[in-house]
Chains A and B, each alone.
Chain A
């Protein structure tokens, strides 16, 4: 896979500093959106699908572990909630053995081996050393970790939770696999510079409940800010890649996916999602408004779909209290000729699934009307999906991995720009027009030339 999930955990937004990203173009993939979930092949037809148990409509068995008195069970749950598997497992490789390349705007960082292997894993780490890594971002040898590992979030976890994670990780099969050296340019390859970064932007700080709020809100706040590390993607970053503390959850961008605003903005945030719809989305990857794909699809697949309903409700409770901009009038002035061209393409190529009225078939073919990602100022996500296609992730509640095919070979840059502009400006949607130049820039990475 050319574009692993873990990029999202990298200092998103530093591209302004770092120049071209090093993400390699993915192989042509008629159905995929570049998901790290392996694609099915003739040799391995089941690769599309979770390998750890049959989907059912019931709540995940492990959900009960959230409050288990057994640290191993509770640790497994927290490891899922923290989505550790995603970064610390190379596609096709052994779980938690690391060595997954994580593309950053500066270079490639390889995730570490967190199996209990004594030599290459964390089997010989003490409890203190493990806690220091999560709480202070300090490696066993004293070196500073890069915030690709989201210790600025994990620092909020109380020691008991961290030790539960460690107890669980001690039970996974040990794998001997050394972590390849990172490929970072000077001076970032000197871990010492992270001391400066930490001094500027990092404070180790265990989560403190707010007694004025409900226990549910506090649980949600803890999960979102701590193990869930949602802000790693969904909070805008400053020039040095640190989350901007005065704009939490106002959306970000990582590796050519737009990370939605989690604030309650009307047009491009979560204002129109009810608490139940947020739970539905995190549980199944779909709700009445949209379908998870791309990086967030992987988060749903490997993390939130395994969490308890109680915790998902808590997360939703917390998110619904976030502030948000009210209704905004459409301020864009779309070009009529572009809209007409876009509509013609839309009718020909999109209506079979998304319907002429943009209503789609909720939870199956996502509605375009009112979609927040579609209306984000930055059109990267919609252009990328038209070019490369997308695949919804199979979850226990919704096991069908429905895919949208790639249109790169069928539509040229201007045609994609026109249809993207059309869907961003129709049915009450409003967002800036998309240019052929913007499409061309992404085509190099996510699709070949038009046939």
Chain B
């Protein structure tokens, strides 16, 4: 703790302190306060709400929000260092690129697309499932995938809870084990239908779905937290019908049409007397007792820059995965991972996702791709997870393929046919000729965890507060390249059936590059599991080492799946909250005995 710290100025102890106030923090706070706990959330960024920060009168501003990063983490204040391989020297990421962590109230939940997926039942038992089906050889010696320790069936009620909180628009593919026409036939059983019907489909996704069905695949509407109609959620909060303006990802929603902490939780949560939110408060460290086995609270800088200590019975790390892992490393919670020996758990199994695309260019079809929404699209899941036989393919895992019309915003989106120059008048002509007449198919692939992909503290670079930066060591492995190439070819199969003039495959080649935007689906580093030697958290997202610290979030994924993570992050957070309120508060201590 800081020497200047004055106990007299510190806030009163609470039952639980939450570090970070995005989706995870808001869900956790709602669940804990509903159970009567006294909760404080500390958010490093500022307060944000719809009318003041992303009103319809100025929200659709690509330059302000995407290119100038209005809603994202400020890398001048805090960033990480990066390298592909353990034998390289990592350098600071000085501009956001490959991923876009949020900052401020609502976190990434403000600027997400609203893509709400459930992982497959087999994703939760990735290690045992693949071993039993394909044998040890399919995994190889360096792949470190694991089982979650929690099953799809256990999480189903919590997935359901989040989907109804958000008013997800979609069509069930499996109700109680019975496959439903028009939905995703590969998904795990659902207890009930989505709260809202699918969004109205536009032309591009429709062309894709028709062609996919013709080549024998099973298209269905993307599950979407952009509203297909007005909705009132179980907390009584209201969402408006989506206008298909095409400004979801990287933007807040001025129309109350996208589920976010602001639209689905905060007005009710903030009115509860047992909840306090403090913005502009950067948590520096989780403070532990001398034996390192119990957290006493967190030390933080408040918005005036003064050092403060918040005492709490429970500490919930609810920041983005990179910050959750860094805080555990900085606080000495759990043993840091060492890739040479394979020992240690904090930083282990960092993973990401691998994306690619295929363009279909038409002469005779006006696609009007500017009519969009973050999750407006048609998908096939035939090549995700273990939905197909991987025997002889040289990889495990998979991903979904689909056309999601997120809006084709003009500065960002200008697909051109193969062999078009990258600039100049020929490029301009190609953009003008193709902008309205192109459909882009995306593939969204899993990344398996690997011994040499991990997070630790950088030995050289420090942030503005003098703390070591997080160091990311990550590259795609052969498994990912083979898998992504396979997905891209399958997307190509559909593309060629779509009747365009020309098809262009954009494969993901070479080393992982942190510069171009790919996805903000970073995972792992403080994973959950059944064995304290190979996981930082038990199946209730509780630290094995400091039992009153919980770390729900994508950091808990032992490897990444071929889906957007928010649905699973939310389900794990509800699951964790339930463990805290029903078990931990009654009998504080480890919820799983070792």
Contact partners of B175 in chain A: CB under 8 A: none
- Which of A43, A45, A55 has the most CB atoms of chain B within a 10 A radius of its CB? A45
Distance between A401 CB and nearest chain B CB, rounded to angstroms: 6
Tell whether B57 is near chain A: CB-to-CB under 8 Å: yes
A398 touches B240 (CB 8 A): no
A50-B271, A364-B256, A405-B57 given; A45·B237 CB < 8 A: no
Interface-lining segment among A91-99, A264-272, A389-397, A429-437:
A389-397
Contact partners of A407 in chain B: CB under 8 A: 57
* Cross-interface CB contact of A394 among B46, B255, B271, B303, cutoff 8 Å: B271
Contact partners of A389 in chain B: CB under 8 A: 51
B57 touches A353 (CB 8 A): no
Within 8 A of A (CB), among B79-125: 105
- CA–CA, A172 to B469, complex, Å? 53
- CA–CA, A31 to B279, complex, Å? 21
B47 touches A364 (CB 8 A): no
- CA–CA, A32 to B105, complex, Å? 20
Tell whether A57 is near chain B: CB-to-CB under 8 Å: yes
Contact partners of A46 in chain B: CB under 8 A: 270-271, 277
* Cross-interface CB contact of B236 among A51, A361, A399, cutoff 8 Å: A399
- CA–CA, A42 to B49, complex, Å? 10
- Closest B-chain residue to A407, C-beta based? B57
Contact partners of B7 in chain A: CB under 8 A: none
- CA–CA, A195 to B280, complex, Å? 56
Distance between B524 CB and nearest chain A CB, rounded to angstroms: 32
A365 touches B240 (CB 8 A): yes
B238 touches A400 (CB 8 A): yes
Tell whether A363 is near chain B: CB-to-CB under 8 Å: yes
Tell whether B272 is near chain A: CB-to-CB under 8 Å: yes
* Cross-interface CB contact of A405 among B55, B268, B303, cutoff 8 Å: B55
Contact partners of A30 in chain B: CB under 8 A: 51-52, 55, 57
Contact partners of B270 in chain A: CB under 8 A: 45-46, 48-49
B271 touches A399 (CB 8 A): yes
Tell whether A67 is near chain B: CB-to-CB under 8 Å: no
B51 touches A363 (CB 8 A): no
Tell whether A450 is near chain B: CB-to-CB under 8 Å: no
Contact partners of B272 in chain A: CB under 8 A: 54
Distance between B170 CB and nearest chain A CB, rounded to angstroms: 21
Chain A 361-405 interface 0/1 with B at a Cβ cutoff of 8 Å (1 = within): 101110000000000000000000000010100100111111111
- Closest B-chain residue to A44, C-beta based? B47
A398 touches B238 (CB 8 A): yes
A353 touches B236 (CB 8 A): no
Starting from the known contacts A399-B267, A399-B271, 20 additional A-B residue pairs (CB-CB under 8 Å) come to A32-B51, A40-B49, A43-B303, A45-B47, A45-B270, A49-B267, A50-B271, A51-B271, A54-B271, A55-B271, A361-B230, A363-B238, A364-B230, A364-B238, A365-B240, A399-B235, A400-B237, A401-B267, A405-B254, A409-B57
A-to-B contact residues, CB < 8 Å: 30-32, 40-43, 45-46, 48-51, 53-57, 349, 352-353, 361, 363-365, 389, 391, 394, 397-407, 409-410
B-to-A contact residues, CB < 8 Å: 46-47, 49-52, 55-57, 105, 230, 235-238, 240-241, 243, 245, 254-256, 263, 267-268, 270-273, 277, 279-280, 303
